[in-house]
Amino acid sequence: MSVASAPSARTRVVREPHRGVYDREAAYRILDEGFICHVGFVLDGQPFVIPTSYGRREDTLYIHGSAASRMLRNASAGIPICVTVTLLDGLVLARSVFNHSMNYRSVVVLGTATAVEDREEKLTALNAISEHILPGRWNDARQPTDNELKATMVIRLSINEFSAKVRTGPPIDDEEDYNFKVWAGVLPLNFVPGDPISDSRLLERIEVPEYVTHYSRPKRSS
């Protein structure tokens, strides 16, 4: 059952507040459809925003990268971070340049990340990230070695303080502009995978797996 979460002062949508969504299930649908997030943090007074992959397991986000990564090395020490995920659904073309917009869905999660130190949880987290991006691949590919696990940093972030923001629908013009003779409407944008390209050193008689040929992201519910 969907559960609405009261926004905090930091996550309440101020600009266009009617677009704010505080329903956990709706936020999770956005997180599950995307697979690239941007992680923001401040180090020595300098803001950084780093794009990376992620995975969700229930109410936890997992983010991974190199153990030498400045972001992960410092985030794992307990500094506050901000994680954002945005899905672009269409370009909204109004009759005036000022009223052009985009249809989108986004989620912001705030909190303090902690490092995943336990080997089994780290494997669980990496599995969650892998299966989030390409379901079925984890069991096909070679599993990480101990050295590879040591070279990989994983952080966890509880999804406690969050909000979503959604814009849908046609352009909204000033009333006097509706008689302006220019096309207006929405140009939908969709994620469409291309044809797989086999590696030049692929062994003979290895077929492209079905999870690659039929790859798609979770569809937005109507």
pLDDT at position 222 over 60: no
Average pLDDT, the chain: 90
Interacting residues of 100 by C-beta distance below 8 A, sequence separation 6+: 91, 92, 93, 94, 171
Q: Please tell us whether the domain made up of 17-174+182-191+200-213 is placed in CATH 2.30.110.10.
A: yes
Give the Cα-Cα-Cα angle 117, 32, 209 (nearest 5 degrees): 90
Distance in angstroms (rounded) separating the CA atoms of residues 149 and 146: 5
> Both tokens of residue 174?
């000033």
Q: Give the mean pLDDT of 20-48.
A: 92
> How far is C-alpha 168 from the chain's CA centre?
19
Give the per-residue pLDDT at 1.
45
pTM for this prediction: 0.90
What spatial distance separates the first Cα and last Cα of the chain, rounded to whole Å? 17
pLDDT of 214 strictly over 70: yes
> Is 65's pLDDT higher than 90?
no
pLDDT the model gives residue 2 = 57
